[in-house]
Structure 1
């Protein structure tokens, strides 16, 4: 006869413990996860990852990038630098298991040793910049503590497409080394990074607000440009967050990769039309430099005016500041960019 005394019937004891474990697992983990998955779907404007980008996601996980980078914009003002709006659950609804053996990759991260990557494809849309950053981070960000990933690159061999060659600054080239080209895995990783952009919310749906917003400055100080609301915009700060990674804090750029702004005839020209048009529409007319993306959809007229005014008055440049109205008129005209 079976004993119902849990102290003497070890099978009953183990069965009860196992049953409680299964019940709590379903209650605490499985059921909430299923409800969240059913209640949220990818945003209608979200673009699914291509096979190349999916392969890059695997490289991203395999190389341990998740240990230092997050992909989550919190709803506090200090996170404004990483995305145009706080993240919502639908931003992560596309994430699926890599295969039957492995769980859904946790790319949201828990430690922000390096910058958040939520919109890195928007902030840094140059594949050349990303490749240089992977090969030697300090070649583009002098203060970077990120380790280099030289094993994702190799010396050029016969038949390598010339367009894949990296223009590495002289200070970071190996003595007598060959031309360096990215491997397939490096290209896949960059394709994944370039895909990281926040999808637009459906029309009529308000974006969550950032909390703990600092009070606006009372007046427009010298060197600052006012936006439409009369708030002061700091051209130096805008330059640092949008331009500095390529053109450097010194304005000297990177030889063979990104052009200098210091002493540039375009920046110092009495007429700032060409300079503003380049920022609005992007630029790709000189093979020795990486492609500059357009900023028309990323920056307002006032923000572009603040950046241009900062660049024209810094590093010994002598150009005069421009106004938001000047940028607005050029945006409406959409003039083609002439060759330098």
Structure 2
């Protein structure tokens, strides 16, 4: 009992116990991890602008709704080419001596995972309107708007980044919407988020727990018909919109598009798999290779194409999975 009545001995013992546990549980394992993991050879450090953008990301609480970790489960395939590994985070350092906001892996996925958003959606013509008001592009979005990252000017000045915002989202105000420095910094950070490719000799981590027996209801030899509308929603709608009319001045319409309804669907398959830059002179941004980035199968691409070719007044002939498979091989050779 004398020990417990001696405050000096009690506090010193408690402090030494705490320090010892901290050393054993936190510091030594952290040093061990640091020595055993190194950045991947092709990893690209954040630029100065992207580092500032990371600060904007933190300050606005984005990590509360967005993760940056692709788990090794089948349902996470949509967020990256492979599950995340320790080396993906090895070159991320403390913000400063007092703040350890190094990795922003997050704990909740209210919004999409951002591990590879710089690959999935690199376009500033999409990202900036989405920051101004997400409902411009995704009607059902619950993400808050960040209009204070922008200003409205009567006339754009040299060097200003003008953002295409529909008039109905300006609240009656007139003028050009200009992205402020913090919006451009956040954009740079989002564009920098890309999964680094593993060295060719390294084994590719596998996604686990895929659905078993999902084809059991299909008849023998029959091809299961996928929901093209749902696949379009997940992969294309954020730019081309639910009505297929796109966003004026930002994303071209698919409704009435000659490319979509063409007798020969090769160009459409090529655009889906390899992206497209053919309309940049008209003010449209380059389209990323959605099919390649999202690892879409021939069955999924044919379902999306058939939805686009038969919706919004389009009345083109449907394509088959076999046709799409052959065209995918053909445009793959062309891309090389």
Pairs aligned (count):
325
Q: Which of 273, 282, 286 is residue 287 of structure 1 equivalent to?
A: 282
Find the counterpart in structure 1 of residue 28 from structure 2: 31
3-state SS in 2 of match to 1:56: helix
Distance in 2 (alpha carbons) for counterparts of 1:211 and 1:79: 10
3-state SS in 2 of match to 1:6: helix
Segments of structure 1 that go 5 or more residues without pairing to the other structure are 336-340
Q: Which runs of structure 1 show a deviation greater than 6 angstroms over 4 or more consecutive aligned residues? A: none
Find the counterpart in structure 2 of residue 331 from structure 1: 332
Find the counterpart in structure 2 of residue 277 from structure 1: 270
Q: Which of 247, 250, 254 is residue 257 of structure 1 equivalent to?
A: 250
The answer to whether 1:312 aligns with 2:309 is: yes
TM-score calculated relative to the size of structure 1: 0.86
The answer to whether 1:133 aligns with 2:126 is: no
Query: Any conservation in 1 of the 2:64–2:108 contact (CA below 8 Å)?
Result: yes
Structure that is richer in helix per residue: 2
User: C-alpha displacement at 1:155, in angstroms?
Assistant: 1.3
Q: Which of 198, 206, 215 is residue 217 of structure 1 equivalent to?
A: 215
Find the counterpart in structure 1 of residue 77 from structure 2: 80
Distance in 2 (alpha carbons) for counterparts of 1:300 and 1:143: 24
Find the counterpart in structure 1 of residue 41 from structure 2: 44
User: C-alpha displacement at 1:100, in angstroms?
Assistant: 1.8
Find the counterpart in structure 2 of residue 22 from structure 1: 19
CA 7–293 in structure 1, closer or farther in 2 if over 3 Å, else same: closer
Query: Any conservation in 1 of the 2:39–2:89 contact (CA below 8 Å)?
Result: yes
- RMSD value, Cα: 2.6
Post-superposition Cα deviations, 1:266-297, rounded to whole Å, max 9, x if no partner, equal 21122223333333241243433333223474
3-state SS in 2 of match to 1:155: strand
Distance in 1 (alpha carbons) for counterparts of 2:230 and 2:211: 16
Q: Which of 241, 260, 268 is residue 261 of structure 2 equivalent to?
A: 268
Find the counterpart in structure 1 of residue 3 from structure 2: 6
